[in-house]
Structure 1
């Protein structure tokens, strides 16, 4: 009997809000027994060529990846794209447009935090980001931990960076149809990332899955770093109900912050079709 492929198709590098380089992630994935890897930085494909080159040097199979933020029912939902052409102008231009909102939003977050006595947060977050157009809540969280305001990043989010808290600033992302089209027109496959995280009502979740399918979306993350065993069972059922392919990814960001390391997830249920079987022709 062949062992299931250890695919890890969701993680982040310093190009977005991870702490490791694409090269270090490739080495870590390879050392942890990953057979097929994808780097999925937020709204950014700038690390893809580095990831492809690093994976090939290690003999590690690779799929291009990205995690696109979309607004759906006033909620930020993440759509992972896999196996697309990362040089295709349609996805590159679309991501440029959606990214442009992050810089002004970060400045406003810094101003909001200053009002509650936390000064220098924008500059502090910028130190962690490296790219001023990609400053995210995670970068603010790292600064607030480093400066002793909070014990850990989860406390930062709880106290300051979620809706209704002093450092939260809403950002309107791309819409669902745009994100799915950018991915599919560039030769890739669109996947709903970590669906249990969105806290939708059953009706809202049904609407998300239905619209996603109508736009040409084809996959869902069943096993992820943020899903419990029960949630994995639930989204395996959703994959069957909506005839979606299953994906698997740790959502690894940092050795110090992530609960789930690259390559350490449980296997997918054996009866589910996988995104990587549909993308075999797109593997580097």
Structure 2
């Protein structure tokens, strides 16, 4: 069976491998196709597509957008985007500016806590397009303030912790409309990881679908088999596209492997055919 991975990150956002290295790793893992879906940026897609073409692996131009759903943050994947569309780049510029304002506040909070952390510690500007919380966690670890990335998150940069600042995410309808405006399909990422009542994602999916959502990421490493089954039945009954992916981040999520997640996540190529 031909396998794919439609949720992959590079070091252009919060992954640790370059876009070319991601393509090479996907090829070595035997995948037929991947989607590069960095957070709020498409800066690495062209490089990944070029590397993929040389290796004979299909690279789908994608993105993962953070969106506001009635005060809660959800993530919407955009797949099969037209990278030449100027609307995409103009809108993403405003999203990035909001991220940068948040990062400055988080950096200030860490400094007020007594940590000697500067912008330079978050990464080399020429290599980064998006700075996210994993960059802060790695800076804290590199400086010896914590022993692991998880410790940095748990102590300082998750909701309720002293250095956390909530992201100013655009409304989910804005994200869906942007993805459609540039020729893509809007897919709700990992619906079962959000902290909704009784872990029930279907009211969320229903409202997003009413407002244009095209599909759902059904296959995901943290989705249990019964959850995959329920999502599959729902998508079939409501004519929604089904996708799947590992959410690979390299060393920032060391337990997650490209193409198979924790070792059992398999996404068939037929889902990509349906997406197209």
TM-score, normalised by the number of residues in structure 1: 0.87
Match of 1:113 in 2: 110
| Contact 2:14–2:252 (Cα < 8 Å) also in 1 | no
Partners of 2:96 and 2:86 in 1: CA distance: 15
The residue number in structure 2 matching 1:94 is 91
Larger mean CA deviation between 230-239 and 150-159 belongs to 230-239
Partner of 1:188: 184
The one of 77, 81, 85 aligned to 2:82: 85
Q: Which runs of 5+ in 2 are unaligned?
A: none
1:235-281 CA-to-partner distances (Å, cap 9, x unmatched) read 334434543221111111114633221122533599xx83x12343x
Task: Map Cα deviations across residues 178-209 of structure 1 (whole Å, 9 max, x no partner).
Answer: 11111112111111111122111259833321
Q: Match of 2:266?
A: 267
Q: Deviations over 1:107-147 (max 9, x none)?
A: 1101111222222154422448943x622111001111222
TM-score, normalized by length of structure 2?
0.90
Q: Which residue of 2 aligns with 1:36?
A: 33
Seen in structure 2, the aligned counterparts of structure 1 residues 129 and 16 have a Cα distance that, compared at 3 Å, is farther
Say which is worse superposed, 15-24 or 235-244, in terms of deviation.
235-244
Note if contact 2:7-2:247 (Cα within 8 Å) is conserved in structure 1: yes
Gaps of 5+ in 1: none
Matched, 1:278 2:271: no
The answer for the alignment partner of 2:138 in structure 1 is 142
Match of 2:46 in 1: 49
Distance 1:240 1:250, change over 3 A: same
- Classify 1:230/1:260 alpha carbon distance in 2 versus 1 (closer, same or farther; 3 Å): farther
Residue 216 (structure 1) aligns with: 212
Superposed CA offset, 1:153-185 (max 9, x none): 222211111111111101211111111111112
**Counterpart in 2 of 1:22?**
19
Match of 1:69 in 2: 66
Q: Is the 8 Å Cα contact of residues 249 and 256 (structure 2) preserved in structure 1? A: no
Q: Judge which range, 216-225 or 10-19, deviates more.
A: 216-225
Partner of 2:247: 251
The Cα of 1:26 is off from its aligned counterpart by: 0.3
Change in Cα spacing, 1:94 to 1:278, as seen in structure 2 (3 Å) is farther
8 Å contact from structure 2 (residues 62, 79) kept in 1: yes
Contact between 1:43 and 1:99, CA under 8 Å: does it hold in 2?
yes
